[in-house]
Chains A and B, each alone.
Chain A
């Protein structure tokens, strides 16, 4: 409970209102503090119940069979046998990898250049990176599907073939291309925080002064220094792609999240087990990565700062 008045910290840290033992002036303060803490504990408890409740219910629902009154981890075992599970996970994983690669190839050189040479452009790029927060995924999909529809007008043209390639069912290229736009705000934040943390100018000047070419500077000097930011950007992208439902479902593809819903129509426990696992897994990975960076997980905390 840092942030309280320092001279009452000792009183505040005692579990019970300790006013009775203290001198009269400390006592009234301690009473006030104990009231504040009681209110805060109550509120945190309600929020915690609200936030943990569904997760715990989901866990209970998947391990306890109410009809047979039996505990079993079977739904978690059935996972890999479920039809379409591995296909959708593999496809989603490759979609995520392509999105991450595309994102970094576009963003890293651009943001380094802006930081070093074109500070005027920072505002422009930052505003562009905010646009996906305004254009909701549904609206973006409406636009994308319209553009894709234009290509279908005359068969046999290069537009038609490109269109068909983009919408290949086994690996729809259009998805990573659109996802790269969708993750722009997150990736921009993550990279911006990482770039702010290093003295870019000195690093680049030193490397250039020692005779390194630009690709070498990028690959051997900048990337290692930006590792934490890049990693957190990559993990965020991975989580976003695994959770993405809107665009894929409207355009008619079946990556992971869409598969959960389609599969969820039938059996009860399996989709809930998958959902719980995917939430916990993305949380665990983000949690670990946030310690690698040594700082607050900049990108996660500042989605919009």
Chain B
């Protein structure tokens, strides 16, 4: 950091005349503090992303050993085996995100209304752990609960005789375990921001609970709720650890497929398919973010005041 460039004490004592001359070095010092972060992100975020883009459009011909630019990887990544994995991921994410968004919102509402600070804090921190860091430990807890020798497996098989953790249904049971907490985390601030007076005003004017949610609470929460749904979708779509630990090769999912291509499980010449598929997942998540960010800005406007 170019800290020494900062003007000395005179600036603080007499800001007006000093500022004009000081602006350049001051800004320089600040830039020097920001630069390491930007450079770091360029190297460790920008370079890998660029590598993906570059490798996704290159292919080495296994017969001749010649590498050339081609769109073949991208077309291949949207066909056959790989398309199935993409569909599997999309279906699983949409289904579990929808379930989790609804249950999570209702849970968050119930918790937001409770008075105990300790309870609230315990739920929020537990949600933080489950939503963000669960992965492998979660998978193992579920193996104990609903695996082949699990404690609750018999109970679940009474409802669904063919139930097993390493199937699509199994993952549908497991994914909400980290998505519901994520939904609770994202919607809690907005739910806490709903003023009691709004409800009272609605009741005072003769409105029922339905009227309140239809005309006041609902519209205010809608952006946050949709934003939470988008995040749940993204989180389910990007999940790898849980799926890998539970259903290694049995459920077709895009993240599992990418990892398997990266570890060399692919025909000669198609090594770069993993890059093309990664690029596809980035495109889908970027699309989701493009939906989410404007929604977030909208809900912030109402609830920050």
Interface residues, chain A, CB within 8 Å of chain B? 1-6, 32, 36, 40, 43-44, 47, 50-51, 53-55, 57-58, 60-62, 105-107, 109-110, 112-114, 116-118, 121, 125, 128, 130-147, 150, 177-178, 180-181, 184, 186, 205, 208-209, 211, 213-215, 236, 239-240, 242-246, 249-250, 257, 260-261, 264, 268, 271-272, 274-276, 278-279, 282-283, 286-287, 290-291, 296-297, 300-305
A129 to chain B, nearest CB (A): 9
Q: Could you jot down 27 A-B contacts, CB within 8 Å?
A: A1-B114, A2-B196, A4-B199, A5-B203, A50-B176, A51-B130, A54-B141, A54-B146, A61-B151, A138-B238, A144-B44, A146-B51, A147-B51, A209-B12, A211-B9, A214-B6, A249-B259, A268-B149, A272-B143, A279-B129, A282-B129, A283-B126, A283-B129, A300-B124, A300-B125, A301-B185, A303-B131
Q: Is the CB of A261 within 8 A of B245?
A: yes
B63 at the interface (CB under 8 A from A): no
Q: Is the CB of B136 within 8 A of A257?
A: yes
B252 at the interface (CB under 8 A from A): no
Closest to B187 in A: A305
Q: Is the CB of B45 within 8 A of A181?
A: yes
Q: Is the CB of B140 within 8 A of A272?
A: yes
CA distance A177 to B45 in the complex (A): 10
Q: Is the CB of B110 within 8 A of A43?
A: yes
A142 contact from B52, B103, B131, B140, Cβ within 8 A: B52
Q: Is the CB of B110 within 8 A of A44?
A: yes
Interface residues, chain B, CB within 8 Å of chain A? 1, 3, 6, 9, 12-13, 26-27, 29-31, 33-34, 36-38, 40-41, 44-45, 47-52, 55, 103, 106-107, 110, 112-115, 121-122, 124-146, 149-152, 176-177, 180-182, 185-186, 188-189, 194, 196, 199-200, 203, 209, 227, 231, 234, 237-238, 240-241, 244-245, 255, 258-259, 262-263, 274-275, 278-279, 281-282, 285-286, 288-289, 296
Are A297 and B245 also in contact (CB < 8 A) when A43-B110, A243-B137, A302-B189 are? no
Are A2 and B113 also in contact (CB < 8 A) when A47-B107, A57-B144 are? yes
A84 to chain B, nearest CB (A): 15
Residues of A within 8 A of B145 (CB): 53-54, 57-58, 61
Residues of B within 8 A of A177 (CB): 44
B152 to chain A, nearest CB (A): 6
B185 contact from A276, A278, A279, A303, Cβ within 8 A: A303
Q: Is the CB of A128 within 8 A of B113?
A: no
Residues of A within 8 A of B189 (CB): 301-302, 305
Residues of A within 8 A of B285 (CB): 133-136
Are A113 and B144 also in contact (CB < 8 A) when A147-B48, A250-B262, A286-B128 are? no
Q: Is the CB of B141 within 8 A of A279?
A: yes
Q: Is the CB of B149 within 8 A of A1?
A: no
Are A139 and B278 also in contact (CB < 8 A) when A57-B150, A290-B125 are? yes
A261 contact from B37, B51, B136, B176, Cβ within 8 A: B136
CA distance A143 to B50 in the complex (A): 8
Closest to A244 in B: B135
A164 to chain B, nearest CB (A): 18
Closest to B103 in A: A47
Q: Is the CB of B258 within 8 A of A142?
A: yes
B179 to chain A, nearest CB (A): 12
Closest to B121 in A: A290
A54 contact from B177, B244, B281, Cβ within 8 A: B177
CA distance A181 to B281 in the complex (A): 18
Q: Is the CB of B136 within 8 A of A134?
A: no
Are A260 and B137 also in contact (CB < 8 A) when A134-B285, A208-B9 are? yes
Q: Is the CB of B12 within 8 A of A208?
A: yes
CA distance A163 to B142 in the complex (A): 38
Are A305 and B107 also in contact (CB < 8 A) when A1-B114, A6-B200, A138-B259 are? no
Closest to B127 in A: A300
Closest to A252 in B: B263
Residues of B within 8 A of A184 (CB): 41
Are A146 and B275 also in contact (CB < 8 A) when A53-B145, A138-B258, A286-B125 are? yes
Closest to A280 in B: B129
Q: Is the CB of A300 within 8 A of B128?
A: yes
Q: Is the CB of A300 within 8 A of B137?
A: no
CA distance A264 to B141 in the complex (A): 12
Closest to B231 in A: A304
Closest to B224 in A: A305
- The 5 A-B pairs with the shortest beta carbon distances in the complex, nearest first, are A143-B48, A136-B238, A300-B128, A275-B137, A57-B145
Q: Is the CB of B129 within 8 A of A286?
A: yes
